[in-house]
Amino acid sequence: MHYLTEDLPGTGGRIKAQPDDFIVTEVPLYEPCGEGDHVYLYVEKQGIGSLEAADQIARALGRPRAAVGLAGLKDAQAVTRQWMSLERVDADLAARLHLPGIKILQVRRHRNKLKIGHLAGNRFEVRIRGCRPGSREVAARVLAVLAARGVPNWFDRQRFGRRGDNHLLGRALVLGQYKEFCDQFLGRPSPTGDSPRLAHARQLYDAGSRHEAVGLFKGSPDHQRVLAALVRTRDPRKAAEALPKQLARLLVGAFQSDIFNAVLDRRLDSFDRVEAGDLAYIHPCLPSPGAAAAEGDEAPSPPTERGPRGGAVFLVERPEDEAPRAKRFEISPSGPIIANKVTLASGRAGEIERAVFTEKGIAPADFDRVKALRLRGDRRPLRVPLGSPEVEPVGDDIRVRFVLPSGAYATVVLSEITKSGI
């Protein structure tokens, strides 16, 4: 992954030294209208993930976890604010909840359940500690470039797991390389990505001591499940099929992300310009702050095949006519999220996409092997807008603020600023 601002120095420094160094506030797609059967809770949490917080709230109100609606998932290692919804619960009781790491800031009513994708973006406030002298000016210059040209829409490292190999596991599933999947999933210890216990279990697997390794995978139920199936059947395919579907989707999604990143890497120098044959992504308009959904309106649907979060794509035939729209950030080139059915660009853009597929040894038809996962082909913009960028000194540190659309990674912006691979 390259930096768009390679010609500018970095500030150095580190993030998340303390939980309140990283503050994330959800930008809702709509505000609760004030009436209806669904109770919306505006939640501030710290040191706890979104799913765990939802589980605690559901149990406190006597409801199952699946009853909680979320627009997006937020990191545990941060202070985050987001809306959650529950149908037909006591609003006054919800407002009085006191749970570890969770504060209920507001309670309002609305007519529909909150669903994944029902958010416009996220507002970030991040303190970068231990910066080099002159960092405020350096950060301001980097943010100015990103605001003018856009933020490269990389899938960042967390997409690929602690060991950084989720995409390799996904590739093995798509290609039907089940022995390779088992060997990567259960063996090949990582000095940085595995605990000592897991590293030992992987060493035993690599040495052929599979029965001994099963017990050491205790605490990692997915690994234990796959290895137990392999020991029982001696069939790598049946072992891979023992993987929970949710995890299989995540791994194959990481492989899709790796392919998108490879396309973006080849187009980074011109990622803010459309070419003939491009499938241009139309950036959705963000709602005004405080905008409420109209009476009876349902929230927009989650991502479709035509583009995530409501954006559509169209074929660029006369790039000179579309150049002003790209300059105004109304449209951007897009890259493929490959599946068994995906629309590819033509012209030079299409040649790049097909060259990446060849390099990765993959074709859309290969995704027929994972059809049961119901993954859809999509188009993702190569860049996203950076909203409201600010930087200020805080003693010897700096604090940066900015807004990104849903699905974009704040760590991409922070890496451009620090040049330290945050």
Active site residues: 75
**In 3D, which of 221, 162, 218 has the Cα closest to residue 189?**
162
Three-state DSSP state, 14:
strand
In sequence order, the 6+-apart residues with CB closer than 8 A to the CB of 6 are none
1: burial class by Cβ within 10 Å (0-12, 13-18, 19+)? middle
Which residues make Cβ contacts (< 8 Å) with residue 79, sequence separation at least 6?
19, 20, 22, 23, 24, 44, 45, 46
Calpha distance 43→80 (Å, rounded): 8
- Whether 23 contacts 80, CB under 8 Å: yes
**Interaxial angle between packed helices 166-174 and 245-267, expressed in degrees from 0 to 180 and rounded to the nearest 10:** 100
> Cα(250)–Cα(269) distance, rounded to whole angstroms?
30
- Token pair, residue 246, equals 């949710």
Identify the DSSP state of 343: -
> What residue type is 232 in one-letter code?
R
User: What is the SS3 assignment for 226-283?
Assistant: HHHHHHHHCCHHHHHHCCCHHHHHHHHHHHHHHHHHHHHHHHHHHCCCCCCCCEEEEC
Alpha-carbon distances of 284 from 76, 196, 324, 390, 406, rounded to whole Å: 29, 47, 17, 23, 11
**In the numeric block, which tokens belong to residue 261?**
């990143």
Of the candidates 415, 360, 407, 381, which has an alpha carbon nearest to the alpha carbon of residue 170? Answer: 360
Greatest distance between any 2 Cα atoms in the chain: 65
Contact present, 103 and 45 (Cβ < 8 Å): yes
Q: Tokens representing 55?
A: 């589980």
